[in-house]
Amino acid sequence: MYTKENRLLALFLLFALAVIWGSSFILMHEGLKVFKFTQLAAFRLRIAGLVFLPLGIINIRKIERQDIKWFALAGLLGNFIPAFFFPYAQTHLQSSVAGALNSLTPLFTLLSGILIFGKKFNKFKMHL
């Protein structure tokens, strides 16, 4: 059962995540005033890589050799390519539009799972 403190903490964390996530589009917009979109994307990937490098070093041995290709594919499709597409899109769209389109990611993930991978969906699989 959720307590009042847990609910307040959850609301605070949701608000903090929204500020951090939403500010990335504004910061990309501002960064594009100084950098090319490719430079901005490479910079963002470099910073993320440096932040997560310690976790990668600690956990690399847990990955089985045959699964490395799947991790590489997930990294390419989930991080590398979007890191370049978002700043490029920001050169043509407003930050608010880019943020709104990005908020549709879970819906597109659901539709991809159903249409491409034939996954079944029902309301009991949703975590609310």
Residues 46-94 have pLDDT tens digits of: 999 999 999 999 998 999 999 999 889 888 988 899 899 989 999 998 8
Task: Locate 113 and state its tokens.
Answer: 């799972």
List pLDDT tens digits, range 76-89. Answer: 988 899 899 989 99
**Other residues' Cβ atoms within 10 Å of the Cβ of residue 44:** 19
Tell which residue, 110, 55, 102, has the closest CA to residue 83. Answer: 102
**14 vs 112: CA distance, rounded Å:** 26
For the chain, state the CA radius of gyration: 18
Residue recorded with tokens 């700043």: 87
State the chain's maximal CA–CA distance in angstroms: 50
List pLDDT tens digits, range 12-43. Answer: 999 998 888 778 888 888 999 999 999 999 99
Predicted structure pTM score: 0.71
Show the DSSP H helices in 32-125 as ranges.
37-59, 68-75, 81-90, 95-102, 105-115
